[in-house]
Amino acid sequence: MFCGFQMKNPQRSPTNPGSVRSRFTQVFLQSLLRIRKHSPASSSSSSSLGEFLKRCHRVKVAAYVSMARAAGTRRAWSRAMLWRVRHDAHRHRLLQGRCSRSSSRERSPGKKKRRTKKKKKRRDDQEHGFGNAEKLQKLVPGGEAMDFSCLLDETAHYIKCLVTQVKVMRSIADFYSL
């Protein structure tokens, strides 16, 4: 449970940043190995841009999924993230089955919930004058279903995990580049 990383004092032990970090690292590294095995063996620069983009997308999704798994399902944002990825993958498979054209839309997390266009401001954001709460809801996975205090709480945890994710990804990338 104790690690040498000086992160903020974890108030809840299940979401200790140390264990989240090591869980994320392991799951993410395994995903990277899997991606590497399944990607075409073209080490020359002749690999097409399409292949590169596909692999890039896979790496990105693997990173977010690994982090959501490491964070555990007790968090609303991680549940929403996993649900969304599963949903997107399923829909992508359906699309691929029907037509050979693959959708090349940008699937950055946090910008996908366009179906729900509820503009009912039943939340505290207007009371406190927080028009930015809506923007925040779109950025945090599952944010649009949360009330204001829940949103703030989930956002805090989400940011901690994102920071961990970035740090680990950067250290892996540095390690590979040596």
Partner 1 sequence: MSSRRSRSRQSGSSGISDDQIIDLVSKLQQLLPEIRNRRSDTVSAAKVLQETCNYIRSLHREVDDLSERLSELLANSDSAQAAVIRNLLMQQ
Q: Out of 92, 107, 110, 113, which residue is the one contacting partner 1 (CB under 8 A)? A: 110
Q: How far is the CB of 168 from partner 1 (least distance, A)?
A: 9
Check if the beta carbon of residue 146 is closer than 8 Å to that of residue 76. yes
Q: How far is the CB of 17 from partner 1 (least distance, A)?
A: 12
Full DSSP string of 83-118 = HHHHHHHHHHHHHHHH-SPPP-----TTS---S---
Q: Which is nearer to partner 1, 92 or 123 (CB)?
A: 123
CA dist., res. 112 & res. 61, Å (int): 14
State the CB neighbour count (10 A cutoff) for residue 110. 17
The packing angle between helices 148-177 and 17-38, to 10°, is 60
Binding mask 7-26 for partner 1 (x = CB under 8 A): -x-------------x--xx
Q: Which is nearer to partner 1, 35 or 94 (CB)?
A: 35
Torsion of CA 116, 130, 9, 109, to 10 degrees: 30
Q: How far is the CB of 99 from partner 1 (least distance, A)?
A: 26
CA dist., res. 31 & res. 91, Å (int): 21
Q: Which of 80, 68, 62 lies closest to 23 in space, CA to CA? A: 68
Q: Out of 15, 16, 19, 59, which residue is the one contacting partner 1 (CB under 8 A)? A: 59
Q: How far is the CB of 87 from partner 1 (least distance, A)?
A: 19
Q: Which is nearer to partner 1, 97 or 175 (CB)?
A: 175
Query: What 3-state DSSP class applies to 168?
Result: helix
CA dist., res. 86 & res. 75, Å (int): 17
Q: How far is the CB of 129 from partner 1 (least distance, A)?
A: 6
Q: Out of 64, 66, 71, 75, which residue is the one contacting partner 1 (CB under 8 A)? A: 64
Contact residues toward partner 1 (CB under 8 A) are 8, 22, 25-26, 29, 32-33, 35-36, 39, 42-43, 47, 52, 55-60, 63-64, 108-110, 121-124, 127-133, 135-136, 139-140, 147-149, 152-153, 155-156, 158-160, 162-163, 165-166, 169-170, 172-173, 175-177
